[in-house]
Amino acid sequence: MAGHVSLMQGRRIGAASPVADADAQGLAAGRLELESALREALSERVGPSKFGLWFGEGVHLGVPGDGGALEVQVPSVFFRDWIRDHFSPSLIDAAQAVTGRKVELRFAIRDEADPPLGDVVGPAADGPGARPGGTITVPVPGNPKLPLGSPPAPGRPDRRPSHSPRFDFPAADQAPAPARPMPSARAPRRLDDFITGPCNRLAHAAAREMIASAGSAFSPLLIHGGVGLGKTHLLEATAHGLRQAHPGLNVVWTTAEAFTNGFLDAMRAGTLANFRSRYRGVGALAIDDIHFLAGTKATQGEFLHTFNALAGRGVPIILTADQHPRRISKLSDELVTRFLGGMVVKLESPDLPTRRAILQARSASRGVSVPAAVLDYIAEHLRASVRELEGALHSVIAHALLTGKRLDLSLAKAALRDTIRHTAAAIALRDVERAVCNLFQVEPDSLKSDSRARAVAYPRMLAMYLARKHTGAAYSEIGRFFGGRNHSTVISAEKKVSGWLRDEAQAALLPGFESASDLLAELERTLGA
């Protein structure tokens, strides 16, 4: 009988369960619909970029209980503090818009077991100005059941996004170990493969000294220059040389973009401690394209602290940038002064003998005998970058292999006809005006005015010099273009700039350039001359 009653009770429970399931499903659907409305309202108030950064999948919004509070579930204490300090008014406003009533704001750390509530505090404003009404109930952080930085369980792949440097990091709780290069289809670049000339000899020597002294002679070493001049080659070769010369040294070579992405991921996931341990525990740090940090205030702050931590331990730091640190827009003064505290060297466009030597070395490395006339033709017509030279050589060799024709000057001219035609595009007076105005941040009308102020007169003289050198225009035509001046003014400007170049005059007019020749080289690079 007892069994019969138990069976009947089980049947009654089973009969009632579909209703309970339906109720639970309805509640879940309602919560999802409410969260979707809250997220949409919040996105409208903070903007899609901030919303995507701070309110992704790891943050959940809900109105539990009697609906008197908006609960924000966050993955870490860092997220709680940041969202509380920067988005409280927007959260309260969004909740009021959706629910139609005033609410308090509560935070909960995800996976925190029954966190005790702390004091009720007023919400921080999104920006400067008065704070709107409302309160926040802030839970006191407890110990999460599973830290976000914990490794995945055995047998389960780690599906976290990867923005790792090109050399492995040590685990956060281990002492830094010698980094191993990630599998690659090519061997690391070496300094022995770097062809030197007047354009890059100082940078090459600085890289050798960095390897020999492991940063004791100077640090950081910052190499800057235009696209395709060999900055990444030197950076990779220096990192590789440090690992070869100092076995056991944990060398990390990465890009500023990877550093930024890794920092943002760590903030979202609440794993900043792991991120900092990785970068601040290295034995040498090489970062490509450091100008990528410009304009990213939070990432610049993080890199500044990383830089200080490494510099305090005497760790060698090698950086590359597309221009002198003083000319990187929106780079903080703190970083600029630290970069200038080491050695800053510039890579110039290679001259004709260096271009020819590069082509000879590259053809020899491929085991191809290229006639001297072909090498001379490429070197004379392609002057902007090493990458352009190598691309042209590869194109000529591939053309000969694919067509079965003899590799000679006529084949090279045919293979590179379009490349050289576009490279040698005519430079107009307006192109010169645009390049000068962009570099000196002056208006075209000022350049053509009667002003004799140095901030206008010197750029005008440089523009006239470049116009005469690269456009083929007559003195009188150049004078008319730059404010209706006569030909003698243009001749005088040409002589003045030639004197600057001859005397290697210092370029005090614009920070970031050591001499007038550097200034002109930058303008000519912009013009593609």
d(CA 320, CA 224): 6
pLDDT attached to residue 41 = 87
Whose structure tokens read 């599998």?
183
pLDDT recorded at residue 131:
34
Q: Is 306 annotated as a binding residue?
A: no
Distance CA 225, CA 328 (A): 12
Residue 26, pLDDT score: 55
Q: What is the CATH number of domain 352-423?
A: 1.10.8.60
Asked if the bond preceding 220 is cis, omega within 30° of 0, the reply is: yes
* Residue 228 annotated as binding site: yes
* CA separation for the pair 107, 87 (Å, rounded): 12
At residue 222, the pLDDT reads 96
Contacts for 308-313: CB closer than 8 Å, 24+ residues apart? 308/338, 309/280, 310/280, 310/282, 310/285, 311/219, 311/338
SS3 450: coil
Measure the CA–CA gap between 144 and 488, rounded to whole angstroms. 79
CA 500 – CA 236 distance, rounded (Å): 36
**CATH second-level architecture of 191-347?**
3-Layer(aba) Sandwich (3.40)
Phi then psi for residue 489, to 5 deg, are -65, -40
Distance CA 331, CA 291 (A): 8
Sheet of 251-255, strands arranged across: 251-255, 284-288, 317-321, 221-225, 343-347
Rounded CA-CA distance 366/407 in Å is 14
CATH code 3.30.300.180 region(s) in the chain: 7-121
* Distance between CA atoms of residues 458 and 452, nearest Å: 9
Residue 20: Cβ-neighbour burial (10 angstroms; 0-12, 13-18, 19+): exposed
The domain made up of 429-527 has a fold known as Chromosomal Replication Initiator Protein Dnaa; Chain: A; (1.10.1750)
**pTM above the 0.75 mark?**
no
- The total of other beta-carbon atoms located within 10 Å of residue 381's CB is 18
Q: What is the pLDDT along the chain (529 residues), one digit of tens a residue?
A: 343 333 333 333 344 444 445 555 555 666 778 888 888 889 888 887 677 767 877 788 988 877 788 999 887 777 788 788 888 988 998 888 888 888 889 988 865 433 333 333 333 333 333 333 333 333 333 333 333 333 333 333 333 333 434 433 333 333 334 333 444 446 778 888 898 988 899 999 999 999 999 988 899 999 998 888 899 999 999 999 999 999 889 999 999 999 999 999 999 999 999 999 999 999 999 999 999 998 888 999 999 999 999 999 999 999 999 889 988 888 999 999 999 999 999 998 888 899 999 999 988 888 888 999 999 999 988 877 888 888 899 999 988 888 888 899 999 998 888 777 665 556 788 889 999 999 888 999 988 998 888 889 989 999 999 998 877 788 888 999 999 899 889 999 999 888 888 776 655 556 556 677 778 888 887 876 5
For residue 270, give the nearest of 59, 81, 79, 72 by alpha carbon.
79
- Other Cβ atoms closer than 10 A to 114: 7
Q: Residue 220: its pLDDT value, please?
A: 95
Residues of the chain with CATH 3.40.50.300: 191-347
Cβ contact 55:39 at 8 Å: yes
Q: Look at residue 420 in the predicted model and tell me its pLDDT.
A: 75
Long-range contacts formed by 175-182: CB under 8 A, 24+ apart: 175/281, 176/250, 176/281, 176/282, 176/283, 177/250, 178/243, 178/247, 178/248, 178/249, 178/250, 179/243, 179/250, 179/251, 179/252, 179/282
**CA gap 88, 131 in Å, rounded:** 9
- Sequence-separated (6 or more) residues with CB below 8 Å from residue 485: 479
Which residues in the chain are classed under CATH 1.10.8.60? 352-423
DSSP letter, residue 181: B
Q: Residues near 146 by Cβ (< 8 Å), separated by ≥ 6?
A: 111
Distance CA(524)–CA(522), nearest Å, equals: 5
CATH topology classification for 7-121: GMP Synthetase; Chain A, domain 3 (3.30.300)
Q: Tokens 């492995």 appear where?
A: 168
**C-alpha dist (Å) from residue 271 to 82, 150, 171, 256:** 15, 9, 13, 19
